[in-house]
Amino acid sequence: MTKKPTYEDLEQRISELESEAKRYAVYKNNDKYRVLFEKSKDAILIVENGKFIDCNRAAVDMLGHKNKTQLLLTHPSAISPDTQPDGKDSFTKAEEMMDLALKNNSHRFEWNHIKANGEVFPVEVLLTTISHQKDKRILHAILRDITQRKQEENARQKEKATLLTILESTPHGIAMIDNNGQYLYINAYFTKITGYMLKDIPTKEDWFKKAYPDRDHRMKASKAWGNDSNHPGHGKNREFRIKCKNGKFKHIEFRSTFLKGLKISVLTDVTTRKQSEETIREKDRLQGVLELSGAVCHEMNQPLMSIQGYFDLILMDISEDNPLYSKIDKIQIQIDRLSNITKKLMEISRYETKDYLKEKIVDLTKASTNRNL
């Protein structure tokens, strides 16, 4: 006959079952961890007191070793080049990284590792502390190959450097403004043209006040900017006279593009072109004056010579006592004056005007070569 268990026997059995259940739970959890550990696409290494004690297949493949045993027999210092990208010794820096992980429980950083074939490649490392014990410092390391990311970053940096070179070397001023009117960037040629640096014109309002000191001119420029900004894409080419930082004025052509959240203005100094255009217009005006003056001189010279000759004959036949002599002499003076005018017309060499009533007329004295006539 089986002995009936006592209360103490039942209590003991329950305790044993609970302990077995806990062991089973730990076993199952470890089993799950091992599956995750081995199947992870990221390389995982366990480091105890500065030595590898475990790793997964991804770590073996990443570091180019034949098998797990070969990698675990490798000293951690052997999977890093002598120095890191910042120039620091790998061994010394590795100690710093592990100390930070132990201090903060985890630490993420970028690192250069070296494969068994000598190829250096970049990784992102996440160190997590498992044990802080002095004689049993255990770290869990996850390594993620970031070669592609680095290549993309380098490509972006190269593209950025190329773009910056273009922006800084182009013979045009370039400015970038956000939707709040804040100047984000101006290139060196913008400063060369206008004299203004980014600190001089932090906002669009500062630019308009300094570049267009005349209120009416400023309102005209501001209105044009406002109209163009209401139409996304390429704006119209505008030309305005601006005041530079040194106080001088220049004629600037503005070509603006209005994008979502960003406005780009390209400035071209057209002062020389404007001066050339003015010179051409002056030459055209001068040519018109010369043609007209030549025609006038041609038509006036012969009548004047005839009149001059007849007056000389008349004066020869009249004595100075004759009452008509003084009147005829005054006519002679006016004839001489007309003769001088034709000489000035023939010697016009520049286009000079003077105010006359409500209009402008050619200033013969300033326009002729011989101003003493």
Spatial distance between the Cα atoms of 48 and 45, rounded to a whole number of angstroms: 10
Q: Cβ atoms within 10 A of the Cβ of 264, count?
A: 17
Per-residue confidence (pLDDT) for residue 86, from 0 to 100 = 92
CA angle (153 as vertex; 149, 159 as ends), nearest 5: 145
Three-class secondary structure of residue 327 per DSSP: helix
DSSP state of 89: B
Per-residue confidence (pLDDT) for residue 225, from 0 to 100 = 85
Instruction: Give me the residue label for tokens 């400063």.
Output: 191
Per-residue confidence (pLDDT) for residue 29, from 0 to 100 = 54
Query: What is the dihedral angle through the alpha carbons of 342, 344, 349, 351, rounded to the nearest 10 degrees?
Result: -90
Q: Can you list the domains of the chain with their CATH numbers?
A: 21-150 (3.30.450.20), 170-269 (3.30.450.20), 274-367 (1.10.287.130)
Spatial distance between the Cα atoms of 248 and 371, rounded to a whole number of angstroms: 32
For the chain, which residues score pLDDT lower than 70? 1-31, 233-235, 286, 288-291, 293-294, 298, 348-353, 356-367, 369-373
Per-residue confidence (pLDDT) for residue 348, from 0 to 100 = 67
Per-residue confidence (pLDDT) for residue 147, from 0 to 100 = 93
Q: What is the pTM of this model?
A: 0.51
